[in-house]
Chain A
Amino acid sequence: MAAQREVKKTLCRQCDDRCGIEVHLEDGRIVDIRPNKDHPWNRGRVCVKARAVIDMVYHADRILTPLKRTDSGWQEIPLDQALDEIAARLTEIAGRHGRRSVSVWKGEAVGFMQQEDIARRFIHAFGSPNYLSNDSACWTSGHIAYSLVDGAWPVPDFEHADCIVVWGTNPVASHPNVNQLITIARRKGAPLIVVDPRLSESARRADLHVPVRPGTDGALAWGLAHLFIENGTYDKEFVERHTVGFPQAAEYARAFTPEFVEKETGVAAATVRAMAQMMAAAAPRVTVYVDSGLEHHENGVNNIRAVAMLDAFLGSLDVEGGNRLFDDPPLRGLTLYEELPLRDLGPLGADRFPVLYDFRQECHTMTALAAILDDDPYPLRAMIMTAANPVLTNPNTTRMVRALEALDLLVVRDLFMTETAELADYVLPAASFLERAELHAHTKYQILNLTQRVIGWPDAQDEYTFWHDLAARLGMGEYFPWEDETGLDRWLLEGSGITLEQLAAHPEGFPYAPLRTRRWEEDGLATPSGKVELTCRYLKDFGYDELPVYRSPAYLAEPDPAYPFVLMTGARKLVYLASRFRNIARFRTAVPDPEVEMHPEDAASLGVADGDAVRITSRIGALEICVKVRARNEILPGVLQITHGWREANVNLITHDDRFDPVSGFPLMKSMTVRVEKVAG
């Protein structure tokens, strides 16, 4: 009999791009992943990670049965027994140390947004304020910085731009589809400017590559502001009507002459001028795309605020071809912050990083470790982690491992036995994105999507069912009244005028609101003043800088001869995402080994060549890794780059969990100092 063939349309969630895909099945087994040609985001293309879904979901190492740590190793146990035992342990620990001694930690290996809010709801209903996540070191810094200035983090309108600035990110590796959109604009003549200490893949086709020293982006942004003001090429009407703080900003910008910027950033004054001219010539259709390259610095939030400010000078905020605001998807909120206030319960890190907590109700993971290790300010004893792998992704791995080992109870839900899961008391199978029906929004196009449960395994619970079943055992069932994830999806859509059936009928996305621009004209912005805040009273009230003040990174301000190199970490590789996918064999063929990227002059002075091992030491720790010598124009001299997520050479063994951006609490991971020695071999 011929095989039964079927095609199901859903979204890929190998990364946050969430491309429209067709899943091709034969007798219920996935045999191919193809692009959904109708989806506006990926437009008939998908990257190689999408096809690797098959490798991932059917991987021989996939965890499909609950595991319990015993003296004689991992023991397979029934799911009901695992949930019963976990619930009993949580109750016991909460009884002994208080409810806030229990926490959840959300990762992103199975998804976020809806999954995040269910986890928040669970721990909140349990009576603990301790919601932790990978967002202590990813995305949040940019979100806070842009929101302080604009009231939201705008989405770049690449395809309509007359000039594109890609700043501190390499979308070729991190958001592959952005490149299609850049191509559309470039084919219409828009120049591409890439600001990056490396000549990244994205920078290869840049019309202007701006190789800024790590962490000095704020000086470059102020330098551009200086030129816009000096040359009179800023949008005077927009600035006058829709910003606050222009006089102070203009005064502060005076010092940032191209020559000063050159001294600080290493970028030639002529290049700074060329960049300003290209942007001003295209205004207001200039889109500036900032991402995590600016986040992991001690002055990260201010640097990003300074870049965000440029949209106002160019008049490019929320106009076609600029940086556009968006309407939030019309989904009901799952969190309980209004029903059950919990600020008085002392969320970990909220006092130390009040803006982080205020914006995101996000505890600070690196601060929370002190609660585990030193009962400071109170004991944290249990953690349920959903598809996070902080052993490879959080800074200072040694301390991270020590903390996880010190917990009375660690439960990890994941697809695979990760470095973090290896430390758990229970490892529970998680459902991959093809095993869950959830709501997704592409705010750029203001569309909603419903994903499909294409395959499934009995014990690999979807996110909702897991929290629901655990909540029921803890007497919190009232907070999880929906029968299943579809019931939850239906509730989330209530009042939106959009039905699940409509979404199911539109796998290319269903518009939830018509696209519009120029919200500043009538609505005002979601900032306290309703305007673009070049100066921020809110931050000032917390004791922070009112202006996005620039501060030299420590390696420039106080060079330490014992640690002469500047290390950046975390540049993405296209086939991997953070610590994921190293277990997919053909990806290892493509990108086989960890490496430290180095300038040829540095390699020569160290006496090393491609493949030679070096020892890299910071004030936190040391690791050994092999050298990859880049071309002279591919990385700055004195600057190194190591991609994180490798078990074999885990760069987070040497990153800082003791030096932070003061506003967001983001750790120093991209402009840290190290020394390098050749390993005799």
Chain B
Amino acid sequence: MTRIVAVDPDSCVACRQCEYACAFRRTGDFNRSASHIRVSFYPEERACVPVTCMHCGDAWCLEICPGGAISQDPETGAVTIDETRCAGCKMCLLACPYGNIHFDASQGVSQKCDLCEGDPACVVVCGSGALRFLEPDEAVESRRESVDVVLRRALRLDKGGK
């Protein structure tokens, strides 16, 4: 089972609960900067942008890590960092195209989403349901549905009828 945290920006309201829950799991506090998942809100466009690790099948962070500290669980697909092997070189930060790895300066190690041992805290607290823990197939299916919905909504409104 290789489930991922699927994000649906169209449902996100940037309420920040996911950031609080992630930060809490890591630090016991609600300091958003400690969260692995990151939600941005751009008022001018009214855009909510939740971004979290996709646990890539061909993960650049894993490939580039000179210490072999990053591995992928063959069963769950979770890409995780073994902090005891992390040398703090920050190559993975540069390799990740989405900025989903950050550096904990106090410990001198890189840190990232580990899927909370199969029960991601960000998903549990997502009140709008924008985050879902899904199999890749399910994620694709729901993305297709949501694209259709956006189109249907636009078409219906333009026609001004039912």
Contact = CB atoms under 8 A, between A and B. Distances in A.
Interface of A: 34-35, 44-48, 51, 172-173, 176-177, 179-180, 182-184, 186-189, 191, 199, 201-202, 204-205, 207, 209, 277-278, 281-282, 574-575, 585-587, 589-590, 630-634
A638 to B, nearest CB: 18
Interface in B72-126: 123-126
Contacts of A587: 30
B126 A172 contact: no
Contacts of B153: 189, 191, 207
A422 to B, nearest CB: 27
A204 B48 contact: yes
Contact of B125 (A45, A191, A209, A631): A45
Q: Which of B31, B125, B128, B156 has the most CB of A within 10 A?
A: B128
A177 B156 CA distance: 28
Interface string B6-30: 0000111111110011001000111
B60 interface: no
Contacts of A48: 17, 20-21, 24, 30, 125
A201 B11 contact: no
A281 B162 CA distance: 5
Contact of B127 (A180, A207, A209, A278): A180
A183 B11 contact: yes
A278 B157 contact: yes
A187 B48 contact: no
Contacts of B149: 186-189
B134 to A, nearest CB: 13
27 contacts: A45-B125, A46-B125, A47-B127, A48-B20, A172-B127, A176-B127, A177-B127, A179-B129, A184-B129, A186-B11, A186-B149, A189-B153, A191-B157, A199-B43, A201-B14, A204-B13, A204-B48, A205-B13, A205-B48, A205-B128, A207-B157, A281-B156, A281-B160, A574-B17, A575-B30, A590-B30, A633-B43
Interface of B: 10-17, 20-21, 24, 28-32, 41, 43-44, 46, 48, 123-130, 142, 145-146, 149, 152-153, 156-157, 160-162
A626 B20 CA distance: 24
A589 B30 CA distance: 6
A574 B30 CA distance: 13
Contacts of B30: 48, 575, 586-587, 589-590
Given A201-B14, A633-B43, 13 more contacts: A48-B21, A48-B30, A48-B125, A173-B15, A182-B128, A183-B128, A184-B129, A186-B11, A207-B153, A281-B161, A590-B30, A630-B43, A631-B43
A277 B160 contact: yes
A47 B17 contact: yes
A634 B43 contact: yes
A631 B48 CA distance: 15
Q: In this complex, which of A48, A182, A201 has the most chain B Cβ atoms within 10 angstroms of its Cβ?
A: A48
A204 B124 CA distance: 21
A205 B43 contact: no
A204 B39 CA distance: 13
Contact of A189 (B15, B16, B43, B156): B156
A169 to B, nearest CB: 14
B88 to A, nearest CB: 26
A205 B24 contact: no
Contact of B13 (A172, A207, A590): A172
Given A45-B127, A182-B128, A589 B31 contact: yes
Contact of A201 (B13, B24, B28, B32): B13
Contacts of B123: 45
B41 A204 contact: yes
Nearest to B12: A205
Contacts of B16: 574, 590
A179 B128 contact: yes
Nearest to B32: A590
Contacts of B46: 199, 204-205, 209, 633
A589 B161 CA distance: 48
A173 to B, nearest CB: 8
Contacts of A207: 153, 157
A312 B17 CA distance: 37
A589 B162 CA distance: 47
B48 A46 contact: no
Top 7 closest pairs, chain A to chain B, by CB: A631-B43, A176-B127, A179-B128, A590-B30, A586-B30, A183-B129, A589-B30
Contacts of A281: 156, 160-162
Contacts of B152: 189
A633 B44 contact: yes
Contacts of A44: 124
Contacts of A202: 13
Contacts of B44: 631-633
A289 to B, nearest CB: 15
A46 B41 CA distance: 22
B12 to A, nearest CB: 7
B35 to A, nearest CB: 11
A574 B15 contact: yes
A201 B15 contact: yes
A205 B129 contact: no
A575 B21 CA distance: 12
A179 B20 contact: no
A186 B10 contact: yes
Q: Which of A177, A188, A205, A633 has the most CB of B within 10 A?
A: A205
A585 B29 contact: yes
Contact of A589 (B29, B126, B127, B129): B29
Most B CB within 10 A of own CB, among A176, A282, A587? A176
| Among B21, B29, B125, residue most surrounded by chain A Cβ atoms (within 10 Å) | B125
A368 B93 CA distance: 63
Given A189-B156, A205-B12, A47 B43 contact: no
A48 B15 CA distance: 11
Contacts of A590: 16, 20, 30, 32
A585 B20 CA distance: 13
A191 B12 CA distance: 15
A439 to B, nearest CB: 26
Nearest to B10: A205
A45 B20 contact: no
A587 B149 CA distance: 36
B109 to A, nearest CB: 23
B40 to A, nearest CB: 12
A180 B128 CA distance: 4
